[in-house]
Amino acid sequence: MNVINQDYPVCNLEAHRFAPEPAFFVIFGATGDLAHRKIFPALFDLHQEGALPEGMVIIGFARRSLRHAEFRQQVLEDVRAHARHSSFADSAFEAFSSRIWYLQADLEQPEGYHALAKIIAGENPGFFAADDGEPRSLSLPRNALFYLAVGPEHFGGIAENLGTAGLGTSVADSGKPDSPAGSQGWRRLVVEKPYGRDAESARALTNLLHRHFRETDIYRIDHYLGKETVQNLLYLRFANSVFEPIWNCHHISSIEISVFEQDGIGQRGGYYDTAGAARDMLQNHLTQLMCLVTMEPPATLDPESIRDEKVKVLQSIRRYSPSELVRHARRGQYIEGMGPDGTVIPAYRKESKVSPDSATETYAQLTLELDNWRFSGVPITLRTGKAFAEKFSQIVIQFKRPPSALFAAQCGEKLVSNALTIRIQPDEGVWLTFNAKLPGVPAIKASHLRFSWREVSNYLPEAYERLIADALAGDSTLFIRADESEHAWAVIDELEKAWRETDPEAPPEAGGLWRYPAFSPIPPSQG
């Protein structure tokens, strides 16, 4: 049987998924950075892939005074600069831009929301007149998705205003025959990060949102879940029979999840200095990766089964005492450094909008343990940092050494343990490290079996494409449920408290800040 050259069939799961439905796609913060860099380019790419439903209407909601045509021109610039299909930006833009409209309104004031409600109810066809006054006849959708691409200080206020304007889906509404989920179509709220800054504020925000939207209608974004390589974790683990039998504490010695970046914090000092690496990255992206790597097989592929299993992982994280936490964690902050091409990143404390004596960490590392049967005793290290020599995200599953007989007895440390590396970016793939005989000599050397995504396909959609399409389809699998967010915050809250109570000038192993020059090499693995 020649399995290598066999042409295997493709099992397409698309038929089992919900399809994106026509809707008003309303973007709050439509002239902001996120909308420019991610949302409009992703919408254009979906449009190009034929994945946007017919009749979908995009409304930019922002304060700036702009005509529809001026707003579309801005979107064209975004698409040219950031879309995957940017080479089609000019030729294909007209068809895309016929979906786009602009509503000038103040986020804080109710008037804009009432105007929006009228537009959505089809009571203001004049809104869709061209800038030259020519009326357009559009067949309007009944559904509406509200995308909060704004700072977190606006989340609650927007939900409140939407609810007051009759655009929410509060629990009280859900039983009524004319509720938004009924004859008026559905309403969904997409919320960006940061979702709270600790468990308490996340809970308060959830309570506020729940006054106007049901939990099932809230889509909390963690863009890591939209990455193809992150979704592949479920496929790798549960569509294969070779990994799952050894995916436990009997065979795995440690797990390390790393997200390193080359850039410093750039212009984001105002936000970052109040957050730090643990809040910005550990609480969400790295914790989510840990859940996907360690959770039990879900009963089905439906969103709640998967999210239930993730919550069980979060509940089984061992709670450390403050001194244990300090011992199991490291924090660092970059100082000035120069890259190989002469680029200089200033010291974090000198970055704009950063306090000159800031103790905010730009590197965070935390080793957790899960008190469950599968992973008991396996250290799981999460680490992330800015201004390092490389940018990559990966998960390394380190397997136990072979028993100390035959080769292991003779080779000692030179016999490398097996490892499975799941490369999330930039060179997406899966690598298995294993030992093999060197040709011609009785010697052993570790080698890699490599699977590279790019060799299989050049089609790697952006995370935001997947997430937007799923939100339009009502598939919440790749979004964070309220309880997931709160459990994840509980861990970070304790870490933050332990660090607050530790002198940042203490040695790094005693909880102080490790000062590393920008462009430092990646710190050695702990595994």
> Considering the complex, what minimum distance in angstroms separates the CB of residue 280 from ligand BG6?
5
Q: Please, is 426 exposed, middle or buried when counting C-beta atoms within 10 Å of its C-beta (0-12, 13-18, 19+)?
A: exposed
Contacts of 169 (CB under 8 A, 6+ apart): 179, 180, 181, 186, 187, 212, 213, 214, 217
Q: For residue 38, give the DSSP letter.
A: I
CB-nearer residue toward ligand BG6: 218 or 259: 259
Contact 95, 44 (CB under 8 A): no
Q: Look up residue 164 and give its two tokens.
A: 């007051």
Q: Are strands 57-62 and 24-28 parallel, antiparallel or unpaired?
A: parallel
The residue assigned the tokens 């879940």 is 225
CB-nearer residue toward ligand BG6: 280 or 470: 280
Q: How far apart are CA 92 and CA 227, in angstroms?
A: 26
CB-nearer residue toward ligand BG6: 269 or 512: 269
How many CB atoms sit inside 10 A of residue 457's CB? 8
CB-nearer residue toward ligand BG6: 394 or 418: 394
**SS3 letters for 258-296?**
EEECCCCCCCCHHHHHHHCHHHHHHHHHHHHHHHHHHCC
Radius of gyration of the chain (CA): 25
Question: Which of 354, 52, 72, 29 has its CA nearest to residue 192?
Answer: 29
Q: Residue 329 is inside which H or E element, if any?
A: strand 329-335
How many CB atoms sit inside 10 A of residue 195's CB? 24
> Considering the complex, what minimum distance in angstroms separates the CB of residue 285 from ligand BG6?
6
**Nearest residue to the partner ligand BG6, using Cβ:** 280
> Considering the complex, what minimum distance in angstroms separates the CB of residue 185 from ligand BG6?
31
Question: Which of 14, 100, 17 has its CA nearest to residue 56?
Answer: 100
Q: Is 285 considered catalytic here?
A: yes
> Considering the complex, what minimum distance in angstroms separates the CB of residue 389 from ligand BG6?
16
CB-nearer residue toward ligand BG6: 59 or 259: 259
Q: Look up residue 510 and give its two tokens.
A: 């005693």
> Considering the complex, what minimum distance in angstroms separates the CB of residue 46 from ligand BG6?
18
Which residue ranges make up the site for ligand BG6 (CB under 6 A)? 193, 259, 261, 280, 393
Which is catalytic among the residues 36, 47, 285, 487? Answer: 285
> Considering the complex, what minimum distance in angstroms separates the CB of residue 82 from ligand BG6?
13
Q: How far apart are CA 202 and CA 331, in angstroms?
A: 24
CB-nearer residue toward ligand BG6: 266 or 377: 266
How many CB atoms sit inside 10 A of residue 62's CB? 23
CB-nearer residue toward ligand BG6: 186 or 516: 516
> Considering the complex, what minimum distance in angstroms separates the CB of residue 264 from ligand BG6?
10
Report, as residue numbers or ranges, the catalytic residues. Answer: 285
